[in-house]
A and B are shown apart, each in its own frame.
Chain A
């Protein structure tokens, strides 16, 4: 062992970058003396495509770029970027040429050390292999990360409900002292003890009914007016059980006792807190709201509900369902209230919800997307004003509630999207028959529709017509494919910026446009092509796998990528809401952890390979 070999700086550098950061300190210590250092001038080749790497290179300073033989950018990386590892791990030739784009210093880890580290350290090894299910594990870890202390309250124990220590008073203290204590502590009940044991409870109500109303002297002992031997619960009892106990006994306070000593209190307020954070209660309350103002008031709870769900580790899929379901309840209630004001409709109609909510995938920054299908008995001169008024009033009310108007005007207030069924059939014929870019854009909104209110038969008729037309029109599918394949998916990150295929840098990542929407479009294409009647992304992918259009592996990867991106957006939006800012889809790359960046890169890779598969199947280039 060489004396005084102080390569601490190199060790510290490695400790700050994946995958070396996963190595135990003692192992990391032994790495630097086995490395060598090389230098590459800007523009020179660091590792040529087709060569067999004999070492793993780690960029120490400067930057490198990986490009396909055709010049397409694959990756751009600064300090900490590993090069040659995948080829070295799999024993295959280097897939893409690596070139220095700045004067670059590299640390070289010889193959024998590299293989030794891979054999002995699973996390180090995993970094160089694109394992199936990598994103799925990442999603699981992401969700686990946020839950921890704040598990679902109802699935927890009484201990989780207790928010403060017990406040107690001796049984021989005066009622006056007890009242003063309650007032000072701002509590509505006090525990009464003898020694350390709980013997009773005195509440605000006891003070009212047993002291004031009964003209009892407040100088007398608490023990004379308290409720002796109250019902209690144990810290390890299920939280749900304790809350049911409150409801069953119609009491507001339930002391928590351990070894005869009071340790806290469960109150009716805890129940209320839970109820407010529960989407089921929220939907119920919205359905009963007497007016739009009440609906608007209830809608403000949605963000809190979602924040609670995220803390409990809910998936993006489930959160999307909750947000959509609450949105549905709001829209239905607003329509019902409006209809009640306007009187019954002159002909049957169906109110359709479009876009992300129709797919049950709404996030926290929604706008309005809806349309009206009218019965073919509709006579414009007689009935137009009723439906125009209905659309206008509902849209206004939804705006009041917190759903901004659609910027693309895909709303029932637009006469185009307030038509009898026959006209809708002509819309469909136009979308599929002459798929101009504008028509494709419209189709992408209107092919994700769901019945919301009114006559479901009208909706069903339109949906059936759409499905038949789409599947029978290859040129339409080809245009959908061209659109889905042409979206620019980011490559990854470079010094805190998002890099796309053209090599351009951006300082924000648009999670929706840059990822989620592309997966939605890919799923829509495959869903429509196989005649699936599903509207949600995951269901469409499942149907496409069943029809043999998409490989189960690719579908699973897409689902994981969609969930990963969705969860990232969800957490981003919940944090924005918590900070009092409006929710949006733009994530600051510098706020992302290395873990998130690495898996985002993998998610982008999945999207690009799905786009590649589409480009192979459809004559995409000729259409764009």
Chain B
């Protein structure tokens, strides 16, 4: 059952997803690895944690950034297989990511590339939630919304280099902290934390200006 806006956060099932890519453009760049870990309400379920390297013959130079070797990528799994598993893991869940538009755009492009119809679930973006939490009190400084800065603000452990699963987990932990802070005054549901489409935000802002 897919969650809807009334699903309380305590019962909300999410899947924290992190992609490693060759660059920043969904049109030109490719997915190198995918990591995910499920969140059930207020618990991260490590048993569902996965990391899959995608097979590539010519991955380019971004490889070094992620600590992947050409051998890793040659031994990786076909993109279609990895995406099929991700879709399976996402069933009945909301996608959770730090800067979710990035993950959504790449997944959309990747699904099209393997000839599938992209139908992505609602998303929760920890970067957006962090902006909301910080913006409540003051101006947001440069870099403050980055995953590791955001975690540090919540007193979450700071650790060294990460792979896709490590970053998905880091995002999931940040979400638990954010949800606890946002939900301190009243119980929240998905509608309160779900990522809004940019056009909807603009519409709301326009409407507010008019009234």
Contacts and interface: CB of A to CB of B under 8 A. Distances in A.
A38 B42 contact: yes
A5 B157 contact: no
Interface in A498-547: none
Nearest to A43: B184
A79 B159 CA distance: 14
A79 B52 CA distance: 31
A102 interface: yes
Contacts of A105: 156-157, 173, 176-177
B173 A4 contact: no
A6 B166 contact: yes
Interface in A5-47: 5-7, 9-10, 13, 32-41
**A interface majority secondary structure:** mixed
A37 B176 contact: yes
A3 B81 CA distance: 13
A3 B44 CA distance: 19
A61 interface: yes
A62 interface: yes
Interface residues of A, number: 27
B-side interface size class: 20 to 34
B154 interface: yes
A407 to B, nearest CB: 46
Interface string B163-185: 10110010011001100110010
Contacts of A7: 46, 49, 165, 169
B159 A9 contact: yes
Contacts of A2: 49-50
Nearest to A107: B46
B19 interface: no
B190 interface: no
Contacts of B159: 9
A305 B159 CA distance: 48
A389 interface: no
Contact of A10 (B43, B46, B50, B52): B46
Given A3-B50, A4-B53, A6-B51, A39 B176 contact: yes
A38 B177 CA distance: 9
A9 B159 CA distance: 8
Interface string B44-65: 1111011111000000000000
Contact of B177 (A5, A32, A33, A39): A39
Contact of A61 (B43, B157, B184): B157
B198 interface: no
Contacts of B52: 3-4
B155 A102 contact: yes
A9 B49 CA distance: 13
A37 B159 CA distance: 16
B166 A60 contact: no
A139 to B, nearest CB: 36
A609 B21 CA distance: 60
A5 B45 contact: no
A103 B184 CA distance: 12
Contacts of B177: 39, 103, 105
A41 B45 contact: no
A108 interface: yes
A4 B50 contact: yes
Contact of B46 (A13, A32, A39, A79): A32
Contacts of B43: 36-38, 108
Contacts of A6: 51, 163, 165-166
Contacts of A37: 43-44, 46, 169, 172-173, 176
Contacts of A34: 46-47
Contacts of B45: 36
Contact of A103 (B44, B46, B154, B166): B154
B165 A4 contact: yes
Interface in B5-62: 42-47, 49-53
B155 A36 contact: no
A10 B43 CA distance: 16
Interface in A59-80: 60-62, 79
Contacts of A5: 49-51, 165
A61 B181 CA distance: 16
A103 B47 CA distance: 24
Given A6-B165, A60-B157, A103-B155, 13 more contacts: A2-B49, A3-B51, A3-B52, A4-B51, A5-B51, A7-B46, A7-B165, A7-B169, A9-B166, A10-B46, A32-B46, A38-B44, A39-B177
Closest 8 CB pairs of A and B: A39-B176, A37-B44, A4-B51, A41-B180, A61-B157, A36-B43, A103-B155, A35-B46
25 contacts: A2-B49, A4-B50, A4-B51, A4-B53, A6-B51, A7-B46, A7-B49, A10-B46, A13-B157, A33-B46, A33-B49, A36-B43, A36-B44, A37-B43, A37-B44, A37-B172, A39-B180, A40-B180, A41-B181, A60-B157, A61-B155, A62-B155, A103-B154, A103-B180, A108-B43
Interface of A: 2-7, 9-10, 13, 32-41, 60-62, 79, 102-103, 105, 108
